[in-house]
Every structure is written in structure tokens, then in C-alpha cells.
Structure 1
Amino acid sequence: MYLKNRILYIIIFILVGASCSAQKLQLKILQFNIWQEGTIVPDGYNAIVDQICESGADFITLSEVRNYKDTRFCDRIVQSLKEKGHTFYSFLSYDTGLLSRYPIIDSTTVFPCIDDHGSVYRALIDMDGQEVALYTAHLDYLNCTYYDIRGYSGSSWKPRKPLTDMDSIMMNNVESKRDNGIQAFLEYANQDKSKGRIILLGGDFNEPSFLDWTKETMDLFDHNGLVVPWTVSTMLYANGYVDAYRELYPDPVTHPGFTYPMDNPLVEVKKLTWAPEADERERIDFIYYLPYKGLELKNVVIWGSDGSICRSERIKEHTLDAFHISGNNWPSDHKAVLATFSLKRK
């Protein structure tokens, strides 16, 4: 009897030790277009701070950082979050920005913002001994070809004849610097991949995904009967990156996941639309990740509201999308995206 009990204790000890050695860490990333640092919406800056606090995100990728009046937005937002009881790390950037709850080891300008043609930045982060390469992208807003398809110029936003010839669509699209920004990201991220780091990318791409312009959606959302292989998303998928929202919700009909234009009740409709007579709704805010051993995507939500602008009307989305409807003021004309991962490690 003594021997049996001793063997049982040994087995329990081994099992407990094994469970302790394999730990799971939760991490959240928020992609957040903050619409000119919240300056367009009344009390928008404080709304940005409140939304970050409410999200519980560990990493935040920000679009439309401007450093107005010679201020450093990174310093202001870190201090404001500290006053709310949240410690974050950041660094000076322009156009895009980064926040991390974990210490930043190094920061890099991967694709600098020149003449407002977009930017990409990188932070190397020490997440309790695990290195994370976090990238933030705000890609070129010009030659925004999904507007040309809908009957508006994607550079001047003046009405035009809808562009439906596929060769012309693709030629117009690649005249932007969006592909250049993503190519710079891919080349730099290959170094992180070779060093065994987790790679995360958040951004406002100003371009749809090929996963959303499919045969099933060709006659919806003013797609004008087109299936378009949008280049930024095809480049990322060709290099093994995964679109977090589409990974959990692969059907673009039941889960279109629109992030723009959002119905912000604090702003006039005419300030929320660039194509007033079209259905311009798109999913242009993304979180991508490179598959990594032990990293598991657990949840993704559209953070902000279930309201959109369509043909200059405020509408509610009656889709199966996963929304988190915040009760606080909203600072932007974009909805945000929040992805939750777990990391199993020994």
C-alpha cells in the first residue's frame, strides 16, 4: 500500500510539474485609426485614451499620428495612459504609431512617410522573455482604386465613370505606394522570422482584401460584378501571413467586417463619407500575424460600433460580425479591430 501511494504521489508531481512548465500567456493587439489624433471629434483625444484603457490591449497600432503643434504624440499618450493607471512604452513616429505594455528593445523606421504616401514602423518588444516584432502600417491613401470602381476618383474623390476594366484597375492600384510599404515590411520582417520572433502587423491599409472581393460578394456593396486580387493582401498571403479577422470569420457575406466609414454620431454625415452616393463600406483596417509555434488566435472583434455610413445614410449593420459596442465617446471615422491570442510556452 505504501509503495502504491508513493508511485501515485510521484505521478501527480510529474503532471503538476508538466502543467507548470507549459504556461499560457494572453496577448491582445488593437488596430486603431485615431483620425488626426482625435482632433476632428469633440474631446476626441480623451476618447482615444478611454478606448485604449477599455480594450485591455497589450499592443496598439495607431494610424494618423501627426505630432501637432510640435508635440510628441507618443509622449502625450503614454503620460495620459499612466494617469489612468496603465504603463505603456512608445517612441517618436509620424503618420503611424505604436504602444506596448511591454518594454521596447529597439525601434525602426521601415518605410518613412514621404509626401503623405504612407509609413511603416517596427518595435522589437521583450514580452516576458519572448521577443515580439510589432509592426504598424498606415498605407498610401492615394490611387485608392476601390473608389474608382464605385464611380469616384480614388485620388480627388470627384465623381467619375466607374472603373471596371481589370487591367486598368490593377494598373491604377499599383500606382500608389501601398505595395512599396508592404514590400519593405516583408523584407524587414524576414530578419525577425529568421531570429524566431513573433511577428504582428496592424494597420489602416487604405485597400481592401482579395478575401472580401470574391464571387460571393461581386454583386454586393457596389463591387460592380468584380472579383479583384487586391495586391497588398495577396502579397501578405503569398508570404505566409494570416488575416486575423478572416481566419475566424472566412465568409465575407455573413461577416463583411466593415471598418470604414463608421457612423460616428458626434460628426455630421458629410464629414464621414468620401463617396456620398455610393456604398463605400470596406474592411481596410487589419491585423495580420505570421503563424508561430504555440501562438493561437482566440478571438477577434470589430471594436467601436455596429453603425456605418452607406449612401450618406446612417445605418446599422445586420450581419453576423462580432462587434464590441463601446459606451464611451468614439474619436474616429474608422472602427478599430481587436485580436486576442494565447501563447503557450515552456
Structure 2
Amino acid sequence: MKKLLWISCLCLAMALFVSFKPRYTISLLQFNIWQEGTVVSGGFDTVADEIAKADADFVTLSEVRNYKDTRFCDRIVEKLREKGKTYYSFYSNDSGILSKYPIKESSTVYPLKNDQGSIYKAVVDVNGREFAVYTAHLDYRHCASYLPRGYSGTDWHRLPEAVKDVDAVLKDNRDSQRSIAIAKFLEEAAKDKAMGRIVLLGGDFNEPSHLDWTESTARLFDHNGLVIPWDVTVALEKAGFMDAYREKYPNPVTHPGFTFPTDCPGVPLQKLAWSPSADDRERIDYVFYLPEQKLSLSKIHMIGPSGMVCRNQRIPADTKDPVEKPSNLQKWPTDHRALYAEFAY
């Protein structure tokens, strides 16, 4: 009887040990830095300040330019070191990755050519588990979401009339390199999955989500009645990837998640309003991940100004989206909001 009781207690203790086994957290900051922060006075320093404040394990950067033959990621790593933050990186162009963990390997998944986007990958070991972290800044031309709003998505000239045919919008969208780039990513990510790696993707896609252009939003935000299955996010969803923001906030009416164009206080309005007569607010910055049993999304929010630019005006917040105030609102360095996501694994 005592032996049976001892065995039962041992089994209970083992069960409790397994159930209370500590979980780790990992975080990612997606940050379009608008030409390396050069558009706003003091922007480079502010970019560093915001990265230091967010203190994310990984930072995925958009609009890395390496101006005047400088290496932006090296410079920002050094600036962060001055602030007591240790990050690792590697040379890249157009998009970039910072990691708190030493980078075991890095690669170019989709190289920059003719300024039509890029994707890079870093592989790191986090507490004995390999992560494949990708950064993407996709083609900015043929931004077809402007067509239903009466503007070209390549030169942003006013059109004679708004394009209200879904097929015509998607045809223009597919003239970009975005679908080609994301196909390269999916091919590479499949290899990571086969190797048991956790896969994270942060990026500025320059393309909306099919989860945002729905029946519920067809008469909102100048969608002009259109429901559009945008190519990049559809491809990611079909491949099993989760859109972290839409997972946490599934309602695109109450939580549209607009990341662009934000009300950057230090910049004249004419530099922020790409289609002055339209509501062109859009969610084009994303964090995606490949789900697995031991990985779960803990939280996600935006960082940046609460106000946006709409119809050539600076407007206050009018949605329920969670937006964290930056450390220096007046010197916010970009026309995008950043996106912070945290996971448990």
C-alpha cells in the first residue's frame, strides 16, 4: 500500500514538474525606418532610441539604404551598444535584421534588384531552439490598393476615375514583384519547417491583407465596395502562416490596424499624403509566424503616433487599435507605425 502511495506521489510530482516547466518569451519589432530615418531631423538617433525602448529580441527593418557606402546595420548596432543594448546583424540592403542572439547563419532569400524589394534570413539559437527570422520589404510599385481610391499605385497621379473591378486591381497588383518574392520566402521557410525551426517573418509588404478588404469593410476606408483577395497574404495563409495582428484583433472594422500613413509630426503634410483626396490608410506592415504546438502569440501592438493622415489632413485616432506612444513623439522618424509582437514557446 505504501509502495503504491509512493508511486502515485512520484507520478503527481512528475506531472506537476512538466506542467510548471518554464516557458520562454521571444519578441519581434517590425520597423519601417523611412530611408534610414533621414527624412526627419535626428531620425537615426530616434530610430536607435525606439529600438532600445522596445528592447525586442529581433528587429526587422525596412528601407535600409546604406547611403554613401555606409553599412546601416553596423552603424545602428554600434549606436545601440552605446545605449547598453547588444545586437548582432549582417550586411543587407533594403531590409535588415537585428538579433539579440548571435546569428549562426544568414542568407539572401530575395535579392534587391531595381528597387523591387528584398528578403533576408537569419538563423539563431534561442535557449536550445533554432529560429529562422525573416525580414521583407516588398516591391513598392504597383501598389494596387490605390486604384479603387482613384490614384495610380506606381506614380500616384490622379486617375480619371476609381478602378472598381477586382480583376483589374489584381492584374495591376501582380505586375509587381511581391508575389514572386513571397514565393521564394515560402520555398525557403518550408526547409526551415522540415528542420524543426520556429519561423518568424516581419516586413513592410506594400500590399494590404485579404483579411482587411472584406464584406465588412467594403464601404469603409474608400474601398469603393470591393472585396479583394490580396495575393501575398492569401499565399501566406494557404501555406499555414498566421497573421499575428489579425489573430489577436480579428475585426478589421474596429481594429483596422493601419500602419501607414501615420501622422509624423516633424514632416510637412504634403510629404505624408500620397493620395490627397482619398482615405488611403492601410495595414501594410506585418508580423507572420508558422504555428506549432509549443508556440503561442502573447501580445501584439503598434508603436507610433496615434493619429493618421487621411484626405490630406492629420486626423486623431478613430479606431480601437492598441498604439503605444513612442519615446519621442515629436521626432518620430517614419511615416509608418512600428509593430511589436511577443510569443511564448
TM-score past 0.5 threshold: yes
SS in 2 for 1:122: strand
SS in 1 for 2:283: coil
SS in 2 for 1:259: coil
- Structural mapping, 1:65-76, within 5 Å: 65-76=64-75
In 2, the alpha carbon distance for the partners of 1:327 and 1:82 equals: 18
Q: Does 1:122 find its partner at 2:124?
A: no
In 2, the alpha carbon distance for the partners of 1:239 and 1:9 equals: 45
SS in 2 for 1:337: strand
Aligned to 2:87: 88
CA contact 1:105–1:125 (8 Å) conserved in 2: yes
CA positional deviation for 1:303? 1.2
CA positional deviation for 1:9? 7.8
Aligned to 1:143: 142
Q: Does 1:294 find its partner at 2:302?
A: no
CA contact 2:142–2:172 (8 Å) conserved in 1: yes
CA positional deviation for 1:6? 7.5
CA positional deviation for 1:148? 1.5
Aligned to 2:320: 320
In 1, the alpha carbon distance for the partners of 2:284 and 2:166 equals: 20
CA contact 2:49–2:327 (8 Å) conserved in 1: no
- Structural mapping, 1:104-183, within 5 Å: 104-160=103-159, 161-183=161-183
Aligned to 2:338: 336
CA contact 1:98–1:123 (8 Å) conserved in 2: yes
SS in 2 for 1:263: coil
Which letter maps to 2:338?
A: A
SS in 2 for 1:184: helix
In 1, the alpha carbon distance for the partners of 2:314 and 2:202 equals: 27
SS in 2 for 1:179: helix
- Structural mapping, 1:147-226, within 5 Å: 147-160=146-159, 161-226=161-226
Which letter maps to 1:36?
A: Q
Aligned to 2:29: 30
Q: Percent identity?
A: 51
In 1, the alpha carbon distance for the partners of 2:140 and 2:6 equals: 69
CA contact 2:40–2:267 (8 Å) conserved in 1: yes
Aligned to 2:265: 265
CA positional deviation for 1:187? 0.5
In 1, the alpha carbon distance for the partners of 2:292 and 2:9 equals: 35
Aligned to 1:233: 233
**5+ unaligned residues in a row in structure 2: which ranges?**
none
In 1, the alpha carbon distance for the partners of 2:131 and 2:203 equals: 17
**5+ unaligned residues in a row in structure 1: which ranges?**
none
SS in 2 for 1:18: helix
CA contact 2:50–2:327 (8 Å) conserved in 1: no
Which letter maps to 2:343?
A: F
Aligned to 1:277: 277
TM-score, normalising length from structure 1? 0.95
SS in 1 for 2:118: strand
CA positional deviation for 1:42? 1.0
In 2, the alpha carbon distance for the partners of 1:172 and 1:203 equals: 21
CA positional deviation for 1:23? 2.3
CA contact 1:103–1:127 (8 Å) conserved in 2: no
CA positional deviation for 1:327? 3.3
CA positional deviation for 1:8? 9.5
In 1, the alpha carbon distance for the partners of 2:169 and 2:7 equals: 71
Which letter maps to 1:342?
A: A
C-alpha RMSD of matched pairs (Å)? 1.7
CA positional deviation for 1:162? 1.1
CA deviations over 1:266-316 (Å, ceiling 9, x no partner): 111111111111101000000000002211101110111211000111111
Aligned to 1:78: 77
SS in 2 for 1:135: strand
In 2, the alpha carbon distance for the partners of 1:5 and 1:199 equals: 45
SS in 2 for 1:341: strand
**Count of residues in correspondence between the two structures:** 341
In 2, the alpha carbon distance for the partners of 1:181 and 1:294 equals: 29
Q: 1:10 to 1:275 in 2, by over 3 A?
A: same
